[in-house]
Structure 1
């Protein structure tokens, strides 16, 4: 018996050519993914603010326990000099960061009767522009939330539209690393 003759290349040669093409595409995609992963993230510049307890054991313990991810935000390098007690996360290169500061002074606006929001087991006090999104952490305008029921004040600054996930995950970390204590607002007047 003789094999039928056709106008095209042999079937085995076609299968081999397709396999080589698929392998080449897979290799190119892998190289692109590796190169993207190796691209250094732009460091986040964090300005220095008074943080008298930033070098203390409570802040060191919190910084050591910080997660690499806060929802869609990933831990980002910080520009030198990085203030003590500070860390940052970004959703993507160039995007507005989530910034954490530990060991700050009590916020001046935190007075008796100031509204607090409980997120899991942490009492948060909000400072910043009015939210357009109904008052949930991270909705609407950029805002800063202070954990006010721990041995040190911890501030988490959220970009507009970040949603509640970063503050929820940070609440879990704070609960695990810093003991709760009664909030201590300043007297009014």
Structure 2
């Protein structure tokens, strides 16, 4: 009887072990990052920032960008198929950033928010994503956040930018 119990328990353990080995972990799809003009993406300032980026931003983990990945870009995801946080370094000054544009200061970094297309006319038409540009550093850094990402990612990136890149005077375009 004891032998039968040992064999039954051993068989159950073997079945569970085989089932566990056959389960595949969730595979992460690479993040497609749209290429945009970033003439300073390969500058020393962007390399310093990109090399210092953390593996985590709050609940978001660093994700692999899909090939071909644009230089000066990085991504984080909260889940393998979730929307990504995208950071781009070395971009041109945003066309909407003009004298008198409102700025938000987060941990010593001045950020300018670019309105999402369609959000001005119909606030319900947007995706909830927001893109913020750090505008007081030697290079422009854009951070695109998915809806519901909270303030932690921009706070952590702000602290990193403040440590990695020297501050400079804000230089908006003149109003036309």
Give the structure-1-normalised TM-score.
0.77
Q: How does 1:121-140 map to 2 (within 5 A)?
A: 121-129=108-116
When residues 88 and 25 of structure 1 are mapped into structure 2, their CA distance, relative to the original with a 3 A threshold, is: same
In 1, the alpha carbon distance for the partners of 2:156 and 2:22 equals: 31
Deviation at 1:141, TM superposition (A): 1.6
In 2, the alpha carbon distance for the partners of 1:124 and 1:49 equals: 19
Aligned to 2:25: 36
Contact 1:102 1:153 in 2 (8 A): yes
When residues 117 and 93 of structure 1 are mapped into structure 2, their CA distance, relative to the original with a 3 A threshold, is: same
Aligned to 1:137: none
When residues 120 and 28 of structure 1 are mapped into structure 2, their CA distance, relative to the original with a 3 A threshold, is: farther
Deviation at 1:128, TM superposition (A): 2.4
Q: How does 1:9-20 map to 2 (within 5 A)?
A: none
Q: Rg larger in 1 or in 2? A: 1
Partner secondary structure for residue 106 of structure 1: coil
Deviation at 1:36, TM superposition (A): 2.7
Deviation at 1:96, TM superposition (A): 0.7
Partner secondary structure for residue 124 of structure 1: strand
In 2, the alpha carbon distance for the partners of 1:49 and 1:99 equals: 12
Matched, 1:114 2:101: yes
Deviation at 1:47, TM superposition (A): 1.1
Aligned to 2:130: 143
**Structure 2 spans left out of the alignment, 5+ residues:** 121-126
Q: Which portions of structure 1, spanning 4 or more consecutive aligned residues, are displaced by more than 2 angstroms?
A: 24-29, 128-131
Aligned to 1:96: 83
Aligned to 2:171: 184
Partner secondary structure for residue 36 of structure 1: coil
Give the structure-2-normalised TM-score.
0.82
Contact 1:149 1:183 in 2 (8 A): yes
